[in-house]
Amino acid sequence: MSDIIIRKDGRAGLITLNRPKALNALTWDMCLAIEAALDDWRHDHQVDLILIDGAGDRAFCSGGDIADMYASGQRGDFSYGQRFWRDEYRLNRKIHHFPKPVVTFLHGYTMGGGVGIGCHASHRIVCEASKIAMPECSIGLVPDVGGSLILARAPGYLGTYLGLTGDRMDAGDAIHAGFADHFIPAAYWEALKSVLITTGNVAAIKAGPPPSSRLKDWQSVIDAAFCAPDVSEIRARLAAQDSPLAAHALPMLDYNAPLAMAVAARIIAAVRQDPTIETALDHEFRYTFRCAAQGDFIEGIRAAIIDRDRSPRWQPHTIDDITAMTAPLGKDALIWEDET
């Protein structure tokens, strides 16, 4: 069985992530296959739109398949992850800039690498079962795949909150935060896909009002805490509150990797100043390029995926470590040569 199903039908180019038992986790080969399809369809006059979905009923895409990164990192080979991220980020940018409508159906879990595939699309559809998150700080990584751009554009300081805590959004939250556009109950999805395939016209997307959002209700309290200049002050402000937000957020901040959270806050702030996909990916790559050799990424994968003990031993860090992880990469920086 192929991990990804790519075909043309009617007026659409169709991509289905096809690893339902692995929650459609994204492999390197899947990234390259999606990129090749987009390159083929960019100038194909028979293709009016792209439709991307996931097989099974549990996930659109739960993230990147990181087991190989752990294995290569254990061997001291950090180039594997660096090459994977370089190719994945190029794909994220292509989806963001793609000249034809890209429609994604984000059912179940859409996390990490799934956000990079699903949430840079022009038309992002969620349903009552959608759960969207950027939980990278819990494994010693930072929100990447261009996700820092969406976080930087979120209302107020909601993006800082989501990036540091990794909190999960439901459909209403995702629309409020800018990770999704349309709420359509899942029962109507197959009929909508058929119309999109037949007509190639995104005007067929008819959505009702979005559901209520917990995060929208918490917005003012989030802004008051997460506008603080660093993670320690954010935590202090939350600890001084007696609020549902504080009770919800503090355990996540206490669990996640301190260095990753400090860098994530710095990245999101930088991207707010220049909110482009290129700026986001450049800052993210500075960290991910170094994270296996210098950060907590390998330990985070061990605790979450390999041993599953949920007891990561994070390294202490200083301001110098934060500066080192965010410094420009020089000759190793991302270079954008493809058309946009």
C-alpha distances in Å from residue 294, one per residue of 117, 139, 260, 288? 27, 14, 11, 10
Residue 76, classified by CB atoms within 10 Å of its CB into exposed (0-12), middle (13-18) or buried (19+), is: exposed
| DSSP assignment letter at 22 | G
Active site residue 48: no
Could you give the residue ranges of the DSSP H alpha helices within 98-157?
Answer: 113-118, 147-153
Active site residue 116: no
DSSP 86-107: HHHHHHHHHHHH-SS-EEEEE-
Q: Is 247 helix (H, G, I), strand (E, B) or coil?
A: helix
Active site residue 144: yes
Residue showing tokens 């739109």? 49
Contacts of 148 (CB under 8 A, 6+ apart): 142, 159, 163, 264, 267, 268, 271, 280, 283, 284
- In degrees and rounded to multiples of 5, residue 61 shows phi and psi of -165, 120
Instruction: From the candidates 144, 167, 181, 299, give the one annotated as an active-site residue.
Output: 144
Strand order in the sheet with 131-133: 59-61, 109-111, 131-133
Residue showing tokens 């370089």? 86
Q: Is 166 helix (H, G, I), strand (E, B) or coil?
A: coil
Contact (Cβ atoms closer than 8 angstroms) between residue 169 and residue 177: yes
Residue 68, classified by CB atoms within 10 Å of its CB into exposed (0-12), middle (13-18) or buried (19+), is: middle
Instruction: From the candidates 64, 81, 116, 146, give the one annotated as an active-site residue.
Output: 64
Instruction: From the candidates 35, 136, 167, 181, give the one annotated as an active-site residue.
Output: 136
C-alpha distances in Å from residue 272, one per residue of 14, 170, 276, 279, 324? 33, 24, 9, 10, 21
Q: Is 255 helix (H, G, I), strand (E, B) or coil?
A: helix
Instruction: From the candidates 13, 108, 113, 116, give the one annotated as an active-site residue.
Output: 113
- Catalytic residue ranges: 64, 113, 136, 144
